[in-house]
Amino acid sequence: MTPDDSGAAKPAGETRSTLDIMRIMEALPHRYPFLLVDRVVDLIPNESCTGIKNVSINEGVFQGHFPRHPVMPGVMIIESMAQTAGVLVVETLGPDARGKLVYFMTIDNAKFRKPVVPGDQMHVHVRKERQRGNIWKFSGAAKVDGIVVAEATYAAMILDS
């Protein structure tokens, strides 16, 4: 075991990466207002990563959901999980992922535990469960201040664009 940047032990040979917004925009086709990942940390190709979403009152969705009690829609939390998984797929496949898109196939066991509101920083933890051909299955959990606010398992298909 060797220490990572935080001083925690990690298995020898394991690579953890951090991706800034420019790298995320190279990996995903999404753009404002639907790009829901601001940074990726602790990316271990073919295994897991964590996406960070800074939730801001300036996001258009809060004009209507709900004006006097802004709450991030659950479907957008799930989409943030999917986009984080998309980055994991692209970073795992490397150059082979150029020109490919990651499409949702299923969402299972979605649970919403606590509202996400402007000012929150959501950490989206994604783990690859399995892969068969171009079908990938993931488990995801979104946390704010270390508390799980949402979780789901989901599958995606990787296709040429």
Residue numbers annotated as active site: 65
C-alpha–C-alpha distance, residues 45 and 116, integer Å:
28
Distance CA 112, CA 73 (A): 10
Tell me whether strands 135-144 and 121-132 are parallel, antiparallel or unpaired. antiparallel
Q: One-letter amino acid identity for 154?
A: Y
- Whether the CA torsion 92, 98, 100, 104 is positive or negative: it is positive
Helix, strand and coil content of the chain, in percent to the nearest 5, comes to 20, 45, 35
